[in-house]
Structure 1
Amino acid sequence: MAAENQDQSQKTEEPTEKKLDEARKKGNLPLSREVTGAMSILAAVVLAGFYMSSFSAIMSDSLATLIVNAHDIDVHTAQGDLRALAVGIMLAIAGPLLVIAAFFAVSAFLSVWMQNGLMAAVERITPKVERVSPIAGFKRLFSLSSIVEFLKSVGKVLAVGLTVAVIIYSELDSAGNATGYAPDDMARLMLSMTVRLLFAVLLVYVVIAVLDVLWRRFDWLRQLRMTRKEVKDEHKQMEGDPQIKARLREIRRERTRRRMMADVPSASVVLMNPTHYAIALRYDRGKTPAPLCLAKGVDRVALKIREVAQEAGVPVVETPGLARALYPLVEIKGLVPPEFYRQIAQILTVVMKQDRRQHRRKQHRQTFE
């Protein structure tokens, strides 16, 4: 008991959804036996109220031949007749008995289904050494759950016993007046008393079952509580180690930066601000509906973009206001927003004219050379 309290005192965190799902898959679910008991009593009430009259008639008809003609049967010479009579009786009552068994089977199934639904858990039926360990059994014997179970059993016996005593005491006068009843009237009286008794016990069991379901749920969550370290370890397992995730993000950024820098030489122009922002744009008439952003960056990345562009002969235009306004609105491999078409078109027009002049000058020099 002390060991359990010491272990539970360290588990201060509520179980995570992952921990609950793992418990469900293993068949570790809060199952109340009192619900099964209440459903069984409900089945007994239904059977007693709506089926026992028919069952009694079938039993009476089946045994009538044996009872009425009992003096004519010679047990020494009529073994075949006795065997046939017994088989006939068993066949006659087999159907009604199957109905009764089906009622109780369905009630047991519904009691489990209502609490946790249907779930197959092979691990629950797999043999384990700790289940037969005397030490583990001794610990369970003096655990909080065992103490609650003991108190609950005592309370259940007292509640049901008191209910039965009250019902029987209230029916003593009726039973005393039944001494002169005919057999059929006596049977109906006994059936009526049985139904009332079962119904009273059912009401007590419903209260017990509701309280037990609440306790089972609380105890189940209590046993699945986790330490802070377990919660952190599970979070790392699900989300990944923060250091590893940061490293992966850095690797992805570096790869994106390399691909971006490789595209800068194919740009039509690079817009600068003049050292804080850089945006590399490409426009191919007839191929793209608008200028396309090949690369962008700030501070050191911006300086690197300008360096690569200058080495590749890409025009670099310092437009502080345009670069600063365009940077947050355009994505890499994305098109320039329409509100910037006019300004960028003017810049591209100037750049293309300069490029054509330089191209003509180069051709002119080559001609004279």
Structure 2
Amino acid sequence: MAEDSGQERTEEPTSKKIDEARKKGQIARSKELGTTFVLIFSAIALLMYGPGIAKGLYNLMGRMLTLNRNETYDTTKMFAVWGSAFSELIFPMAMFVFVVALAGIIGNTLLGGFNFSWEAASPKPSKMSPMKGIKRMFGAQAGIELIKAILKFSLVAGFAILLIQGYFYEILHLSIESPPQSIVHALEILAWMFLALSCTLVIISAIDAPYQSYNHHKQLKMTLQEVKDEYKNSEGDPMIKGRIRRLQREMSRRRMIQDVPDADVVVTNPTHYSVALKYDTEKAGAPMVIAKGVDELAMQIRKVAIGNDVPIVESPALTRSLYHTTEVGDQIPEQLFTAVAQVLAYVFQLKRFNKGRGKRPVPLKKELPIPDNLKH
């Protein structure tokens, strides 16, 4: 997408982008680091177990070349001879292979960690495309690999010449040594030269590993548009989410307005706030807020209340306190019990009076008992 839009990859990769890349097998890898680990630890393993391997090989060859007539013609004895001859080689060879295998695993997972991807292992037609193969051969990455190869060859070849010069007389001295000392000594010289040559690749690895990490991070960088698109795909389009929230608020408002006819009283500010209360002793131990609103919604609550003969009581302080301390469906705070009880008592007495069953109630006090911490 960066190529299509002309945007530069300036944004850091998101965690989703990194996870998707790992699933595709795209992680930072340094072949030079893995090769260096394998070669160095192979040399170390050869130094540790080389003498055992040399002695085992010497004894094996000596034993197999000194078979008598019975051992040669008796197949059962031949297997016994092979078993005894190979027994000395099993442990040193097994340890050598183990060290090399362990070094291969560590060296190849040290930079990007362990990762297995079926997607990366599956065949892809793009990998078999001749045109893309030519592009890879003559691309920037191929040029870097060529430079690394020339540098490796130069370092190893130059250091190999120095090592041969240093070990020249010691190598010549091997011709006058008797076996098995000569074999052990030859392997020792070979192992030290091998280790020294392998250490020259540390220079290449020290350059290649940081570069591969940087290059991998650079390839994962995203354009600003890609970040926006990913956010939309994962979190949803902000416009759609806003529309959903508006629809939810409208549905909640409609349900709330439908409950207003069941209210016992609507307390008002009188113009900006409206709160509808219902006291159902069978369902709740205290009056509940079944609707509330400000401005236009407050006016709508009052209109519905008037249309359904729900009493409306003006009490600005109580209305503001109920609006700011409760939500629809909540019971009123305990600290407002007294104030709300006075309002409900007045409403119930007024209903009795309107039905001709009682005296006209005393008008409510302008200042109802509302704690200072609940005043708004």
TM-score exceeds 0.5: yes
> Structure 1 residues 6, 41: CA separation in 2 closer, same or farther (over 3 Å shift)?
farther
Q: Distance in 2 between matches of 1:5 and 1:186?
A: 64
Equivalent residue of 2:110, what SS?
helix
Post-superposition offset of 1:24: 0.9
Q: Distance in 2 between matches of 1:7 and 1:134?
A: 28
Q: Distance in 2 between matches of 1:359 and 1:316?
A: 17
Post-superposition offset of 1:64: 0.9
> Structure 1 residues 267, 197: CA separation in 2 closer, same or farther (over 3 Å shift)?
farther
Q: Give the alignment's Cα RMSD to 1 decimal.
A: 3.4
Post-superposition offset of 1:146: 1.8
Q: Distance in 2 between matches of 1:173 and 1:123?
A: 55
Q: Distance in 1 between matches of 2:60 and 2:22?
A: 49
> Structure 1 residues 181, 58: CA separation in 2 closer, same or farther (over 3 Å shift)?
closer
Post-superposition offset of 1:260: 0.9
Match of 1:261 in 2: 257
Task: Kindly indicate whether residue 21 of structure 2 is the aligned counterpart of residue 23 of structure 1.
Answer: yes
Match of 2:366 in 1: none
**Structure 2 residues not aligned, in runs of 5+:** 359-376
Q: Which structure carries more helix by proportion?
A: 1
> Structure 1 residues 324, 54: CA separation in 2 closer, same or farther (over 3 Å shift)?
same
The answer (yes or no) to whether the contact 1:145–1:219 under 8 Å persists in 2 is: no
**1:220-235 correspondence to structure 2 within 5 Å:** 220-235=216-231
Task: Kindly indicate whether residue 64 of structure 2 is the aligned counterpart of residue 66 of structure 1.
Answer: yes
Q: Sequence identity, in percent? A: 32
> Structure 1 residues 100, 341: CA separation in 2 closer, same or farther (over 3 Å shift)?
same
> Structure 1 residues 281, 128: CA separation in 2 closer, same or farther (over 3 Å shift)?
same
Q: Distance in 1 between matches of 2:296 and 2:4?
A: 56
Match of 2:122 in 1: 126
1:237 to 228, 233, 236: 233
Letter in 2 for 1:88: W
Q: Distance in 2 between matches of 1:45 and 1:197?
A: 9
Match of 1:365 in 2: none
**1:47-196 correspondence to structure 2 within 5 Å:** 47-67=45-65, 69=66, 84=78, 88=82, 91-92=86-87, 93=89, 96-172=92-168, 174-175=170-171, 181-196=177-192
Residue-by-residue CA offset, 1:344-364 (whole Å, 9 max, x unaligned): 2222222222223234449xx
Match of 1:197 in 2: 193
Post-superposition offset of 1:102: 3.6
Post-superposition offset of 1:248: 0.7
Match of 2:364 in 1: none
Residue-by-residue CA offset, 1:98-131 (whole Å, 9 max, x unaligned): 5433433332233334344443322222222211
> Structure 1 residues 344, 134: CA separation in 2 closer, same or farther (over 3 Å shift)?
same
Match of 2:248 in 1: 252
Match of 2:351 in 1: 355
Task: Kindly indicate whether residue 340 of structure 2 is the aligned counterpart of residue 340 of structure 1.
Answer: no
Match of 1:37 in 2: 35
> Structure 1 residues 5, 287: CA separation in 2 closer, same or farther (over 3 Å shift)?
closer
**TM-score (structure 2 length as normaliser):** 0.81
The answer (yes or no) to whether the contact 2:267–2:319 under 8 Å persists in 1 is: yes
Q: Which moved more, 1:234-243 or 1:95-104?
A: 95-104
Residue-by-residue CA offset, 1:38-95 (whole Å, 9 max, x unaligned): 221233133212211111121111111234x38x88xxxx6887x9489827855566
Post-superposition offset of 1:245: 1.1
> Structure 1 residues 188, 255: CA separation in 2 closer, same or farther (over 3 Å shift)?
same
Equivalent residue of 1:51, what SS?
helix
Q: Which moved more, 1:237-246 or 1:284-293?
A: 284-293
Letter in 2 for 1:11: R
> Structure 1 residues 326, 168: CA separation in 2 closer, same or farther (over 3 Å shift)?
farther
**TM-score (structure 1 length as normaliser):** 0.82
1:209 to 205, 208, 216: 205
